[in-house]
Amino acid sequence: MKRILVVCTANLCRSPMACALIQQRLLAAKLADPVVVESAGVWATDGSSATSPAIAVMADLYAIDISHARSRQLTDRAIQEADIVLVMEERHRRHIFHRAPEALSRVVLFSELAGKHDDIPDPFGADRAAYVATAERLAQGLEAGWDTLERLVQKHASAASGAQLLAAA
């Protein structure tokens, strides 16, 4: 089973939105191998709901219900189990590097999927327009970078399987 971990700061806005968009795309793709998509935050408090504006924007723009999403703190285990870790900001990548330097090759800035190198701004506390802009930026980035994400997941899942086989030998 392949795993994608989407990381932001508090796991209340960007990562639940991106996670839901990826899940929707995976359902539409009907891939042969199952892919688990989870989210976490570098400074999250476990169990908080996604923000009301994030829930509303995802429902209104993409007919996706993220009201069930609950925040969770990023853990070393989650990092280690992920084939790919998508981060919203460069500082999230640095945070993961300091926690788990061996995972750095699997950490990708979300915008890099589409060949860019930009942070996705956090809409927390902003107006609805900021949430709409974030959701649209995530959706457009995912559309432009879908092939890259598929390749990365496949590449790192294969590498992990090979490492598990070597460890078992």
Q: Please, what are the averages of pLDDT over each run of 10 residues along the chain (169 residues)?
A: 96 98 91 88 98 98 98 98 98 98 97 98 98 98 96 79 39
- Structurally, how many domains does the chain consist of? 1
Residue matched to tokens 């009201």: 67
Q: What is the pLDDT of residue 144?
A: 98
User: The CATH number of the domain where 126 resides is what?
Assistant: 3.40.50.2300
The CA distance from 6 to 56, in Å, is 20
Q: What is the pLDDT of residue 97?
A: 97
DSSP conformational letter for 70? B
Quickly list H helices, 8-119: 14-29, 52-62, 76-81, 90-99
Domain coverage including residue 141: 2-168
Q: Which residues are catalytic?
A: 8, 14, 122
pTM greater than the 0.85 cutoff: yes
